[in-house]
A and B are shown apart, each in its own frame.
Chain A
Amino acid sequence: MSTLTVPFESLARTTSTVNLPVPAPIADADRKGLTKKETAADHPTWCPGCGDFSVLALYFKLIEKRKIWHEKITTIAGIGCSSRFPYFVQAHGAHFIHGRALPFASGVSLSRPDLHVFVFGGDGDAFSIGGNHFNHTARKNIKMTYCVMDNFVYGLTKKQTSPTSPIGFKSKTDTWGAVDQPINPMKQAVSAGATFVARTSATNPNHVLAMMEAAMDHDGFSFIECLSECVEFFPGAFDASNPRKGGKFENMPEGHDVTDELAAYKLAGEPFPGRFGIFYKVNRPTKNALEAGINTAAQAKVAGKKDWEILQATFNRMK
Chain B
Amino acid sequence: MSDTTTAAVSGGGSGPKLTKINEAVIRIAGNSQDGIQAIGGFLARLAGRSEQEVMTFMTIPSTISGGPSIFQVRIGSGEVLSAGDEADMLLCFYQHSYEDHIKSIKLGGIVLYDSDHVTPKPEWQETYRHVGVAISSLVVEAIGGTGRDKGKNIYAMGLLAKIYDLNVPKLTKLIEERFTGKDTSVVANALTCFNAGYSHSLENLLKTYQFYPAEGKTGSQVVMNGNEALTFGLIAAGVRFGAGYPITPWSDIMESLRRELPKYGGMFIQTEDEISAISMAIGASYGGRVAVTGSSGPGISLKTEALGWASMAEMPLVVVDVQRGGPSTGMPTNVEQSDLNIACFGGHGDSPRVVLAPASVEDCFYTAIEAVNIARKYSTPVIILTDQGIATRIEAFPEPDLAKICQDISPDFTTVAEHKPYDLSAPDGITRHLAPGTRVASGKYPIATGLEHDELGHPTGSPKLHMQMTAKRRNKLKKLGTDLPTPKTIGPNEGQILLVGWGSALGPITEAVTRGRSVGDAISGLHLKHINPLPNGLGEIFKGFHHVFVVELNDEGLYGYGQFAQVLRARYADPKIRGINKSDGLTWKIKEILDRARTLADAVQQGKA
Contacts and interface: CB of A to CB of B under 8 A. Distances in A.
Interface of A: 1, 3-4, 6, 8-19, 38, 41-42, 69-72, 74, 76, 86-87, 90-97, 100, 103-112, 114-115, 132-133, 135-136, 291, 294-295, 297-299, 301-302, 306-308, 310-312, 314-315, 317-319
Contacts of A297: 262
B517 to A, nearest CB: 19
B514 interface: no
Where chain B touches its partner, the secondary structure class is mixed
Given A103-B280, A315-B399, A111 B241 contact: yes
B267 A110 contact: yes
A223 to B, nearest CB: 17
Interface string B255-278: 000001011111101011101110
Contacts of A92: 434, 436-438, 445-446
A55 to B, nearest CB: 18
Contacts of B48: 319
Contact of B273 (A12, A132, A319): A132
Contacts of B280: 103-104, 106-107, 110
B269 A110 contact: yes
Q: Which of B224, B281, B284, B370 has the most CB of A within 10 A?
A: B284
Contacts of A132: 272-273, 276
Q: Which of A107, A136, A291 has the most CB of B within 10 A?
A: A107
B288 interface: yes
Q: Which of B48, B263, B289, B458 has the most CB of A within 10 A?
A: B263
Contacts of B177: 317
A94 B447 contact: yes
Contacts of A135: 272
A318 B41 CA distance: 11
Contact of B410 (A15, A103, A106, A318): A15
Nearest to B453: A95
Q: Which of B266, B283, B448 has the most CB of A within 10 A?
A: B283
Contact of B448 (A42, A71, A94, A111): A94
B267 A291 contact: yes
B267 A14 contact: no
B265 A299 contact: yes
B279 A42 contact: no
Contacts of B260: 314
A133 B278 CA distance: 13
A71 B439 contact: yes
Given A19-B265, A92-B446, 18 more contacts: A1-B53, A10-B406, A17-B411, A86-B449, A87-B447, A96-B450, A97-B309, A97-B450, A104-B279, A107-B241, A111-B287, A112-B287, A132-B273, A295-B266, A308-B406, A311-B406, A314-B232, A315-B232
Contact of A107 (B281, B366, B434): B281
A107 B283 contact: yes
A318 B271 contact: no
